[in-house]
A = this chain, B = another copy of it.
Amino acid sequence: VILLITGNGKGKTTAALGQGLRVYGGGGRVVCFQFIKSPKWPAGEEKAIEKLGAGFRLIKGGRGFVGIMGDKLPFSVHQKAALETLQKARRAILSGKYNLVILDEVNVALSLKLIKLKNVLALVKKTPPKTDLLLTGRYAPKALFRIADIATEMMERKHPYKKGIQGKRGREY
């Protein structure tokens, strides 16, 4: 089954990791490939997932924000990182070893043209029936909406930045 979580609301990655928690807790094997977040990203869920052992793997394959928030890396560096993450995800999916594979913020990587839509679509089509694939990130292309079995759009109705409240670590999501 192909799942898609998109929209401009906060919590898409968090929702995906929650789903991972559910599958893991049911005895399944889970791996999450992150296309934007880098190993330097400070995030509580990483520490929590590490406690869960080998049944739930988290691979931070990105190099951080692209072109914003002080990013000075050449575009080609981001592109190479995303391509390598897609290759790793491909091997994980085709191995058939996982009950759930999460491609976190793959939609963002697509919209930034770090990777090609045709390559992602080809991978979705090759996903074994016993493996669920969950794709996240805003700006999901229509082709992914069409191919998804379950699509959820998270809509921001209210956000603290608009009220002048700053996000804080451990809560920001």
Interface size on A, residues (CB 8 A): 54
A160 touches B43 (CB 8 A): no
Across the interface, which residues of B come within 8 angstroms of A7, CB to CB?
155
Residues of B with C-beta under 8 A to A21 = 14, 17-18, 21, 44-45, 48-49
Asked if A139 CB lies within 8 Å of chain B CBs, one says no
Nearest-CB distance from A38 to chain B (Å)? 17
**Cβ distance A39 to chain B, nearest Cβ, rounded Å:** 15
Q: Can you list 9 A-B pairs with a CB-CB distance of less than 8 A?
A: A10-B150, A10-B152, A13-B18, A14-B18, A26-B170, A27-B44, A151-B158, A152-B155, A153-B154
Query: What does the 1/0 interface line of A51-68 toward B look like (CB < 8 Å)?
Result: 110000000000000000
Known: A16-B18, A18-B17, A18-B19. A152 touches B160 (CB 8 A): no
Tell whether A5 is near chain B: CB-to-CB under 8 Å. yes
Instruction: Tell me whether A84 is interfacial, beta carbon within 8 Å.
Output: no
> Nearest chain-B residue to A156 (Cβ)?
B152
A128 at the interface (CB under 8 A from B): no
What separation, in Å, do the CA atoms of A150 and B145 have in the docked complex? 26
